[in-house]
Structure 1
C-alpha cells in the first residue's frame, strides 16, 4: 500500500497509486481509468474524515476501553479521544458505564458522534448519560469479548485487570490495540504518548482493512 493517500473531490474518490478505496466494502480495488486531474495528497486522518462525511463509508466502531473508576486525568484524556474520533466520523464502542467510558462518550457525542454503549446489564437506563445507542446485553463481563470482536481497533486509556482482559481479547482477535495513559502491557499492543498519535494509528488501520 502506498502512502500518503490522494483525494479527488470532483469524482469523489480516494486513491493510493493504482488503487481506489471502496468506502462501502472498506477495501482497496483497482482504480477505473486515468487518475483525476484534481488529486490532492491527504493524510490518513483527512482521508477518513472525508470518507465518513462525504464518501459514504460504513461506520465500523473503534473500541475504547478503560476503568470504570478512573482518575480525572484518564477521564479527560478519554473525553479528548472521543472528541477527536467524532471529528473524523469514527463510531465509538465502549462498555457504556462510568469513568473512561463516560468520558469518551461525552467527547464523542459533543463532536457529533453516536457513541455505542454495550452494557453488561439487562437495563439500558443504566448507561451513562452520553451513550447515544445503549445496548443492554445482560451478559455481564462477557460483553468485554464482544466489544473486542466487534471493534476494528481498540484504544485503552489506563486500566487494570478488566482492561487487560479486553486488550488481550483484542490481540487474540488480531485487532490493532493502542494503549494510552499507562494502559496494561500486552504483547503486540502499541503504546502512544498522545491522543493525536493514537487517532492517527486508528485512521491508518481503518484504511488498511483487508479485502
Structure 2
C-alpha cells in the first residue's frame, strides 16, 4: 500500500560538534524543534552536543529523530532518539548520514562536521550553516538564525512539491 506522506516526508541532517558550546546546543535545539514543526525527520550522528540538542528539540516539538551511531551498540545513543541505528562504522557513518538526508543544517564546526559538509556538497545535498566554519569554495549557504535556516530549507525542499 502506497503512503503519500512517505514521498513528501523530508529527512534533514543536523550536524555539528559533539563537544558543543552552550550557544551551539541552544541553536541546534531550536533547529530541531523548527524542523519537527515542518514534519521533517531530524537525522543526526546520534551522540551528544549538537546531535543531542537537535534531537531534543525535535522530540520536544513532537517530531521524529533518527540517530546513525558510530558504534555497534545502540545504548551509546542520546536519549532523544526515536530510532537508533548502530552502524559499527565509526566516522564512516558520516556518509550514511549525508546520503540519507535531503539537506543538512550545520551548527558550528569540527573536523567530523567538515567531512559531512564536503560529502554533501560533492553529492549535491543542500547545506545551510549557522555559525559554521567559512568554506573557501561555494556550496554552503551561511545564515544567521535557526529560523532563517529552516525557511531556506522550506524553499528548497517543501515548496518544490507544491
RMSD over aligned CA atoms reads: 1.8
Please list every run of 5 or more consecutive structure 2 residues that lacks an aligned counterpart in the other structure. none
Q: How does 1:26-37 map to 2 (within 5 A)?
A: none
Shift of 1:174: 0.4
Q: Check conservation: 2:45, 2:94, Cα contact below 8 A.
A: yes
Runs of 4 or more consecutive aligned structure 1 residues displaced over 2 Å after TM superposition: 55-60, 207-210
Please say if 1:59 is aligned against 2:16. no
Please say if 1:107 is aligned against 2:57. yes
Please say if 1:88 is aligned against 2:88. no
Please say if 1:129 is aligned against 2:79. yes
Shift of 1:116: 0.4
Deviations 1:153-185 (A, max 9, x none): 001000121111100100011011011023442
Please say if 1:191 is aligned against 2:142. yes
User: Which TM-score applies when normalising by structure 1?
Assistant: 0.71
Q: Check conservation: 1:158, 1:184, Cα contact below 8 A.
A: no
Match of 1:180 among 108, 119, 130: 130
CA distance in 2, matches of 1:199, 1:60: 12
Structure with bigger RCO (C-alpha 8 Å, 6+ apart) = 2
Shift of 1:59: 2.2
Q: Check conservation: 2:32, 2:58, Cα contact below 8 A.
A: yes
Shift of 1:58: 3.5
User: Which TM-score applies when normalising by structure 2?
Assistant: 0.91
Deviations 1:126-150 (A, max 9, x none): 1001111101111111100111111
Q: Which has the higher helix share?
A: 2
**Pairs aligned (count):** 158
SS of the counterpart of 2:29? helix
Please say if 1:168 is aligned against 2:118. yes
Please say if 1:118 is aligned against 2:68. yes
